[in-house]
Structure 1
Amino acid sequence: MTPAQLSRTVLHTVRRAVEDDELCVVVPERVKVRTPPRAGCGDYATNVALLLARGGGERDALVIAEVLRRRLVRTPGIARVEVAAPGFLNITLDAHSHAQLVRAVRSAGPRYGHGEALAGVSVPLGDSDEVRAALVGHVVRGLVDASGGVVIAGRGPVVRASPVSGVELLRSLGPDAARWALLRPAGHDLPDLDPSRLLSQREDNPLFRVQYAHARIRALMRNATQLHITPEPQPESGAYDHPAEIGLLGLLGDHPRVIEAAARHRAPDQLARHLVGVADAFLRFHDLFHDGCPVLPSHQHKPSAVHRSRLALADATGAVLAGGLRLLGISAPEHL
């Protein structure tokens, strides 16, 4: 189950509760679900009960949340729903829903997250001669298009100007690092243009980690092809129940929302930081299982359902990294 599908499920649950006279509230047009800010709070959380109880206080929100909890927990694909004060619903999906998400990402490939979230929405954006503002504007146009919105005339992006010209940036950093340097910081922050940090192939360089994670995934997929192993999420295998896997799945599921938010707020830095989070989560996932149950089996072992499931998760992660880097105009290397 993808976040978009879960959002529709929660909205449908609200509507049915109103139709059955169990709730007396105005049904919203849409419901948002988000990845919880900390572990142990389910796969997704929603504040819909708080919004429905607006003006009624915490007690009403908790009552509404409990009504929705009882209904949601009976929904196929949802394993557990918990109510947390002052009225949040923390939703845990079952293994079949996780497998469905992996299949959805792999099916869409690098275009996963593109959609119609901003259909009918006009995003004002103007041109600029300053190199950083011009680059941000160009990337935002692509993000808006990927989200189904339309760019209309407006002022250029408000960002702190680059202290050096575009030509100098390309000469000292190359295209990938130059773009990353200008796009990753929030618009109000001054970009770090130090080549020793931006071109470093070490773990303290976020761009390196993102590109390395993608290259590592592509190497896994090449090795899997040589071993005749087909990636396929198999929920009965016991995969996708470790916190490292669940955390990575949550970030993949959040990718469409991040693209929409980056487009709506004209802030490609949100996408850049999200990609760092995805890469770091993948590297933790990969390193954690390297000794116990690696993504690929050693030569003396036969591939199991767990291997195929984790390989599919790695492949889905590669699609998200490739698609996100493409939206930023940065290469996703096959080798590094």
Structure 2
Amino acid sequence: MTPEELSAAITACLQDAIDAGEFAVEMPGEVRVERPKNREHGDWATNVAMQLGKKAGLNPRQFAEILSARLVQISGVAKVEIAGPGFLNITVEAGAAGSLARSIVEAGPAYGTNEALAGHVINMEFVSANPTGPLHIGHTRWAALGDAIARVLRASGAEVTAEYYINDAGKQMDKFGESVLAAIHGRPTPEGGYPGAYIADLGREVLAAHPDIRELTDAAALPVVRHAAYEAQMEDIRKTLHEFGVHFDVYFSEQQLHSTGAIQAAVERLRAQGHIFDEDGAVWLRTTDFGDDKDRVLIRANGEPTYFAADAAYYLSKKDRGFEEKIYLLGADHHGYVNRLKAIAACAGDDPEANIQVLIGQLISVNGARLSKRAGNIIELRDLVEWLGKDALRYALARIPADSPMAIDPEVLKKNSNDNPVFYVQYAHARTCAVARNAVAAGVDRSAFDASLLDHATENELLAKLGEYPSVVATAAKFREPHRIARHLEVIAGAYHRWYDVCRVTPMGEEPVADVNRTRLWLNDATTQVLANGLELLGVSAPERM
């Protein structure tokens, strides 16, 4: 019996009691069940009686007594006890507990998915590095976490569009173009320009595509060079992200906001909402009405739009494209953007608490990482992947909360030992696959299943952890915290290794194949499936051999 099945059964009991007039109370949106700290207290526990008792005008224990009388009649429930002020401790029948193994295998990749966020249409923007250089360590964390969050949200029923905002407008693009043009002519990097060997590489690439470019004046050549170098750099960024296993549905160009008149249209829409005022020749948005520390200039006195104007137009673009919820993943130096973006949402007529969420990631460092030979003063994402491996890097980044600073220890990530978390989990998956292969060789198959045979203490523990996986996924989606999945996979791996040490799937020596062997193969394969499902949500592979 899965936690979801038990939760649904308790919900049905509540409704039956209400219909029978035993108490009157508004039905909760969700009935939570969890493992008790002491397994002697049962398989599952719920505090629903404490939540609803007083609302029903009853002592929580009285409420629990009414509910327990119905719960004990549920198929698969062996015993219900009331503890403390009103906790309900539930013990399920051995067969009901063990049946989970078969349910997981039959569900396959769908096990753990849920509909908690069904109907949510979400735009999630992350990475969004300037197209003036290669992706570096500062982008690495959000690339891994952003992609994992998107996967987890989709697993909970949300419709998610992963979006990369290309900052391809403004003076930095001119400096970028000027730097590449200087490299083409063999001149020094212009003041405020971009150094690094990658600029020379881009120069050679542009020159190959436009062999006559050096014959043009700088004024004539600059637009051509800037565009060609930009396209080449964006292709490098896309390729790097692809190699890291990160997918974007949309690459949105800031320049389009300028060229299509979207910024001016956004200003007029916000003016119509009553939040625009004019002062000192500039156009301002009154963001202080919604918690910002000061009002923001949208259009300067010289007529040029600010970055904030582009931010406002971009937000309205997301709104117009049908995204009710917008998630922004920003770096540690962007705390000041939170109130500004929420103020834009409020000015646009949205609820800043419901329609926009800004996640701030803390700094990351990698012990012993070398600066890029191409970029000179940065640590490239590409170099990190080549050095540490995609799986190790993605898993390490996913298992720490985004709001916690982190330092990656390469010596640990390169170890083939239990000290390395990704190895620990992947090895558990590979071990389950080895057990399955050995089972085939020994003539053990899944032709029989007797859930009551899964009665060893280690089997109870493993089943419990596998059963908790769907609620972990749902919670990770709710709080945008994929590290919950990584940590739970480690718990499952530990439970599996302990089970493996004492419970054999294949018979010993000349022992005949029995139903206990066949049933244990179901449990083994259920573990394979859950580990694979969880690693997929983190963007990490599930190897069958190690």
TM-score by length of 2: 0.57
Measured in 2, the distance between the counterparts of 1:271 and 1:165 equals 27
Which one has more relative contact order, counting CA pairs under 8 Å at least 6 apart?
A: 1
8 Å Cα contact 1:110/1:324 also seen in 2? no
Alpha carbons 2:104, 2:111 under 8 Å: kept: yes
- Is the contact between residue 392 and residue 422 of structure 2 (CA under 8 Å) also seen in structure 1? yes
Which residue in the other structure is 2:382 paired with? Answer: 167
Compute the displacement of 1:268 (Å). Answer: 0.7
Q: Choose 1 or 2 for highest CA Rg.
A: 2
Query: Are the counterparts in 1 of residues 78 and 91 from structure 2 also a CA contact under 8 Å?
Result: yes
Structure 1 equivalent of residue 460 of structure 2: 246
Deviates more, 1:7-16 or 1:33-42: 33-42
Matched with 2:444 is 229
2-structure distance, mates of 1:165, 1:275: 29
Q: Retained in 2: the 8 A contact 1:133–1:158?
A: no
User: Which amino acid letter does the alignment assign opposite residue 96 of structure 2?
Assistant: S
The 3 A distance-change label for structure 1 pair 298 and 198 is same
Larger mean CA deviation between 326-335 and 124-133 belongs to 124-133
| Distance verdict in 2 for CA 1:171–1:191, change over 3 Å | farther
User: What whole-Å deviation, never above 9, does each CA across 1:110-139 have from its counterpart, x for those lacking one?
Assistant: 331113122134556332342212321111
From 127, 132, 142, the equivalent of 2:151 is 142
Q: Which moved more, 1:39-48 or 1:155-164?
A: 155-164
Distance 2:498 2:122 in 1: 37
Residues of 1 paired with 2:94 and 2:148: CA distance?
Answer: 36
Listed as ranges, the matches of 1:113-128 within 5 Å are 113-121=112-120, 125-128=124-127
- Give the deviation of 1:250 after TM superposition: 1.2
Shift of 1:153: 2.1
Which 5+ residue runs of structure 1 have no aligned equivalent? Answer: none
In structure 1, distance between residues paired with 2:113 and 2:119: 15
1:182-231 deviation line (CA, Å, top 9, x unaligned): 11111222334212111211122222111111111101111111222113
Structure 1 residues 54, 185: CA separation in 2 closer, same or farther (over 3 Å shift)? Answer: farther
Where 1:155 maps in the other structure, the secondary structure is: strand
Give the share of equivalent positions with the same residue, in percent: 39
Check conservation: 1:43, 1:90, Cα contact below 8 A: yes
Q: Which of the numbers 423, 429, 435 marks the counterpart of 1:220?
A: 435
Shifted more, 262-271 versus 27-36: the winner is 27-36
Give, in angstroms, the shift of residue 56 of structure 1: 7.8
Count of equivalent residues? 329
Unmatched runs of 5 consecutive residues or more in structure 2: 130-138, 161-324, 330-358, 366-378
Matches within 5 A, 1:57-206: 60-121=59-120, 125-128=124-127, 129=129, 130-151=139-160, 152-156=325-329, 157-163=359-365, 164-206=379-421
3-state secondary structure, aligned to 2:439: helix
Between 167-176 and 5-14, report the one with greater CA deviation. 167-176
* Distance of aligned partners of 1:125 and 1:60 in 2 relative to their CA distance in 1, 3 Å threshold: farther
1:260 pairs, out of 460, 467, 474, with 474
What are the Cα deviations for residues 26-67 of structure 1, in whole angstroms up to 9, with x where unaligned?
22233121223343232221111111124689x711111121
Counterparts of 2:408 and 2:68, CA distance in 1 = 49
Q: Which residue of 2 aligns with 1:14?
A: 14
Residues 1:211 and 2:423 aligned together:
no
Q: 1:18 to 1:235 in 2, by over 3 A?
A: same
> Whole-Å Cα distance in 2 between the matches of residues 205 and 40 of structure 1?
33
Partner of residue 323, structure 1: 533
- Deviation at 1:98? 2.1
Q: Output the aligned Cα RMSD.
A: 1.9
Runs of 4+ in 1 over 6 A off after TM superposition: none
- Worse overlay, 275-284 or 46-55: 46-55
Q: Using the alignment, how far apart are the partners of 1:205 and 1:295 within structure 2?
A: 27
Q: Is the 8 A contact 2:364 2:407 kept in 1?
A: no
Deviates more, 1:96-105 or 1:160-169: 160-169
Q: Is the 8 A contact 2:443 2:513 kept in 1?
A: no
Question: In structure 2, do the counterparts of structure 1 residues 224 and 303 end up closer, same or farther at CA, with 3 Å as the change threshold?
Answer: same
